Structure 1
Amino acid sequence: MKKIITVFLLSFYCTVFSQNKTIASTWTSLVQPVNVESMQNWKFRVSAKIRKESHSNSKCAIWARIDNSDNTVGFFENQAYSKIEVTKEWKNFQIEGNVSPEGKILNIGAFAENNGSFYFDDFKLDVLDPKSLKWVNIPLKNGGFEEGLIAGKDWSEGIGRKVTHVKNFTITASDNKPFSGKKSLLIKADNIIGNMPHGKFADVNGIKMYYETYGEGEPLLMLHGNGQSISAFMNQVDDFSKKYKVIIVDCRERGKSTYDKTKELTFDIQVEDLKQFLDKQNIKKVKILGWSDGGILAILMALKYPDLIDKIACSGANIFPEGLKDEEMKDLKQSLAQLIKENKDHKNDVYIDLYNLDLKYPNLKYEDLKAIQCPSLIMAGDKDVIKTEHTVKIAESIPKGQLAIIPNSTHSVVVEKPELFNSLVIDFFEGK
């Protein structure tokens, strides 16, 4: 993605449960909506007990969000992106907030991300009565999960306004060491890429680069975007691993890969990371699929190491910063200024590096692309953050360039239309 999301905004509207559609994601949520129209301007607190059995980089937490009557969002907090510590032992966690003047629905949720077993119990909601100044308990439906879980009753699973099931996750009522009563909520995830037991690290260019491999055959390297990691290609691995040996890496400063704080994050240094990585894997010829900044890296690899690259497919790539739409550039600059202003104790250093990367680099010219020798598929959504004319010009400037502008899609076409996207890329890779 070009725009790095430093605050994770969950936009659940989970009032209807549907198993008709399954999507791929690294996270899921279970939610219960509570009508708070009679409690506008009141203070509230949500609490629950949580424990987990998972990898260290997995997360679970409670979250709460106020939906206003005009469909805007009032209060929001997801504790997964704060400094809470969930362990194997039950601990109580609490969120406090205010119902907005136009507040209609308070959504109370359980959140889980990446592989592991995540347990929740004893959800409670209290509100502060402004007349008595006393906290009053608002009973939740099945807040201790003693009634089990029935699809669409009391609690619902989902991501986004259309509630869907997230593959690799199962959500059940469990009798494994509940906090109280006989049952608790269990959200369990397995086989989410980027967090697999078979993942490895390679020592390259002064860093440790994390990678995972899937399938057999010709090597295909997948490169994610700026604020992403291996998991960006959750919708691609299954299809492509049927034909290729898929190799997906976390680029430096992202995912599990490390970085050297003394060196500026540039595309050039990442190109050298990838070259050394491929050398260590003894790969002499490789196809590359790159999304966003990953597409930029694919183009640069094809320019610098033409004998190594068989074909490249790039989605949402630009060759100089002005290839971004003007409003996107403006947003990036404003976000960077805010990050710098709020950078206490170096907490935003990595985000600042990532923003600077896209604001300063790359600095190619269209005529530079004439040196690319390999067949190159240049793609973008018709509503991409990359200017359409920029994408077209890139494809036209590469001698063996092909163009695909995918309708009704954005910079996230890889996620929005995976079947179409995968089919286009595989047809291109398989073509003569």
Structure 2
Amino acid sequence: MYAEINGLNMYYETHGSGRPLVLLHGGLGSGEMFGPILDAFAADRQVILPDLQGHGRTADIDRPLDVRLMGGDIAALIDHLGLDQPDVVGFSLGGGVALQVAFQHPERVGRLVAASAGIRRDATYPEILAQQGQVGAAAAEFMKETPMYELYQRVAPRPEDFPRLLDKIGAAMAVDFDFTEQVRGLAVPTLVLAADADMCPPSHFVEVFALLDGGLRDGGWGGEGRPKGGHALAILPGLTHYDLADSPLFPAVALEFLRR
């Protein structure tokens, strides 16, 4: 299905039934990337699975790829679908977008899971930043053997736009960002989730948890020392940035947090 949102013709799917959950994919992917774990999320939830600007079946528009703008898109989709404070779960780019929805529109979100989403550009390992600096249209030929290219060619409204998507996502990754103050003010109960061998070190996600009043004291017998906002931290063992979204640990831990 498609929704006219902020000038986008945004593609989305719904799976399952129950309390709504918006599930946001990573960069150069689409909702299809959650195929191995979608059934786990949809077992007792209605999962809304959008394709973000320029990704999957949502054609690009004349606008930068910016998580702040994409956060506005998801808030508008929530309104368009008449959802009552759905939970929002995002991975990587989608995790950054999920955070923006909660920063900008906390009243529209129930609970939040931000997976593998650093909040400062300089928290990413330097060698990964160097690799990101190589992403652009010139890399399109080298990308033709990748699952991202295969998916894009199969589903995109304009498959010839793949080099343009690489240019725009490369430009987006080159922009410095620091959302420390926005995280400090988060009013939505948030699970900070990451792989133990992610693009940022585990210490970064511990730092994010500390901004949310987490890990600063003993939790207490009755949980009275836990973060006041209901926030939590999960570092998933044996995973990387590249397989976390395939792991059954992701929905298991995310859903346990969302049920609270």
Q: TM-score, normalised by structure 1?
A: 0.50
Does the 8 Å CA contact 2:137/2:164 hold for their aligned counterparts?
no
Cα shift at 1:376: 0.8
Q: Deviations over 1:163-211 (max 9, x none)?
A: xxxxxxxxxxxxxxxxxxxxxxxxxxxxxxxxxxxxx000111010001
Post-superposition shift, 1:288?
0.8
Q: Is the counterpart of residue 312 in structure 1 residue 120 in structure 2?
A: no
Gaps in structure 1 of 5+ consecutive residues: 1-199
Counterpart in the other structure of 2:64:
264
Using the TM superposition, give the Cα deviation of residue 416 of structure 1 relative to its aligned residue in structure 2, in angstroms: 4.6
Equivalent residue number for residue 125 of structure 2 = 325
Q: Distance in 1 between matches of 2:103 and 2:84?
A: 16
CA contact (8 A) 2:121 2:178 kept: no
Query: Residue 301 of structure 1 aligns to a residue in which SS?
Result: helix
How far is the alpha carbon of 1:346 from its aligned partner? 7.6
1:378 lines up with 2:209 in the alignment: no
Structure (1/2) with the larger helix percentage: 2
2:167 alignment partner in structure 1: 352
What amino acid does structure 1 have at the position aligned with 2:3?
A
- How many residues are matched? 227
For 2:236, the aligned partner's letter is: I
Contact 1:380 1:413 in 2 (8 A): no
Q: Secondary structure at the match of 2:204?
A: helix
Alignment of 1:20-419 (within 5 A): 200-261=1-62, 263-336=63-136, 338-339=138-139, 348-360=163-175, 363-399=177-213, 400=229, 401-418=231-248
Q: What TM-score results when the alignment is normalised by the length of structure 2?
A: 0.81
Distance 1:347 1:246, change over 3 A: closer
Q: 1:371 to 1:297 in 2, by over 3 A?
A: same
Mapped partners of 1:243, 1:398: distance in 2: 29
- Return the structure number with greater relative CO, CA threshold 8 A, min gap 6: 2
Point out the structure with the larger strand share: 1
What amino acid does structure 1 have at the position aligned with 2:89?
Answer: L
Structure 1 residue 247 displacement after superposition: 0.4
Could you say what secondary structure the match of 1:409 adopts? strand
Determine if contact 1:209/1:251 at 8 Å carries over to the other structure.
Answer: yes
Deviation of the 1:413 alpha carbon: 4.0
Query: Equivalents in 2 of 1:392, 1:337: separation in Å?
Result: 35
Q: Does the aligned pair in 2 maintain the 1:311–1:374 contact within 8 Å?
A: yes
Deviation at 1:355, TM superposition (A): 1.7
Mapped partners of 1:325, 1:285: distance in 2: 35
Partner of 1:127: none
Q: Is the 8 A contact 1:221 1:288 kept in 2?
A: yes
Cα RMSD (Å): 2.2
Change in CA separation of 1:264 and 1:416 when aligned onto 2, cut-off 3 Å: closer
Q: Which 5+ residue runs of structure 2 have no aligned equivalent?
A: 143-159, 214-228
CA gap of 1:258–1:310, structure 2 versus 1, over 3 A, is: same
* Counterpart Cα distance in 1 of 2:122 and 2:136: 17
